[in-house]
A and B are shown apart, each in its own frame.
Chain A
Amino acid sequence: KAGVTQTPRYLIKTRGQQVTLSCSPISGHRSVSWYQQTPGQGLQFLFEYFSETQRNKGNFPGRFSGRQFSNSRSEMNVSTLELGDSALYLCASSPQADNYGYTFGSGTRLTVV
């Protein structure tokens, strides 16, 4: 059974650019959540999607957005990149809406220069 797949694994972007990260959940999983991981702030919740609907959003500026497609795949977008957006972005999927049994992907390492 394939795990959560995140692409790309590494990205280097310039300040002011925008970036789109992709997440393919485990087959059959309908809930997808995104987290930002940094050494200073730890793991912080970005947003969660279930059946193409955003159910919850963390305390991040509007530059951070996401969406979920009908096949449960999800993308997140960050516009007008800032140096502080450099982080590991993690996607997690779970079978149901209750989010028990989260499975994380290996993440996308974003570096903003």
Chain B
Amino acid sequence: QQQVKQSPQSLIVQKGGISIINCAYENTAFDYFPWYQQFPGKGPALLIAIRPDVSEKKEGRFTISFNKSAKQFSLHIMDSQPGDSATYFCAALLTGTASKLTFGTGTRLQVTL
């Protein structure tokens, strides 16, 4: 079964600190790796995504680092803010005629003052 393993399960970071969430995948055929942010009562919202031919992508305070040989990717949130407190999901997509997202188990991030 295709899996995406995510860690940690929960994370507490002080305001202004760096939040780091890690994911590992098994299927080397995955060709798109998005991160989603979910607030209580809402559906997941696409935060940032990367393709395996790129090692890093940055959008504002959010950066994805991608290590193809290790089959790992991570989300870094710089200058973490209380408004970043949410659950974060990594995912992997195998595109094609039967594409579907495979999600990690989620990381609950709490940013304290």
B interface size (C-beta, 8 A)? 24
Contact A42 B105 (CB under 8 A): yes
Given A43-B103, A45-B101, A56-B100, CB of A99 within 8 Å of CB of B95: yes
Assembly CA distance A100 to B95 (angstroms): 8
Tell me the dominant secondary structure on chain B's binding face. loop
Check if A99 sits within 8 Å of B106, measured CB to CB. no
- Shortest Cβ distance from B102 into A: residue: A45
CB-based contact A56/B46 at 8 Å = no
Q: Which residues of B contact A43 (CB under 8 A)?
A: 44, 89, 101, 103, 106
B42 to chain A: which residues have CB within 8 Å? 106-107
* Nearest CB in chain A: distance from B30 CB, A: 12
Query: Judging by beta carbons under 8 Å apart, are B97 and A42 in contact?
Result: no
A105 at interface (Cβ–Cβ under 8 A)? yes
When distances are taken between beta carbons in the complex, the residues of chain A under 8 Å from B105 are 42
Count of chain A to chain B residue pairs whose CB atoms are closer than 8 Å in the complex: 58
Query: Of the candidates B41, B43, B46, B104, which one forms a contact with A101 in the assembled complex, judged by CB atoms under 8 Å apart?
Result: B46
A102 adjacent to B101 (CB under 8 Å): yes
- Chain A contact patch, size range: 20 to 34
Question: How many angstroms between the C-alpha atoms of A98 and B49 in the bound complex?
Answer: 14
Q: Which A residues are CB-close (under 8 A) to B36? A: 104
Identify which of residues 62-101 in chain B touch chain A, using a CB-to-CB cut-off of 8 Å.
Answer: 89, 93, 95-101
Q: Are A98 and B95 closer than 8 Å at their CB atoms?
A: yes
Known: A48-B100, A90-B43. A100 touches B106 (CB 8 A): no
CB distance from B51 to the nearest CB of A (A): 9
Chain B residues near A4: list those with CB within 8 A. Answer: 43
Tell me the A residues contacting B by CB distance below 8 Å.
4, 33, 35, 42-43, 45, 48, 55-56, 58, 90, 92, 97-107
A-B CB proximity, top 7 nearest: A104-B43, A43-B103, A56-B98, A98-B95, A99-B99, A45-B100, A42-B105
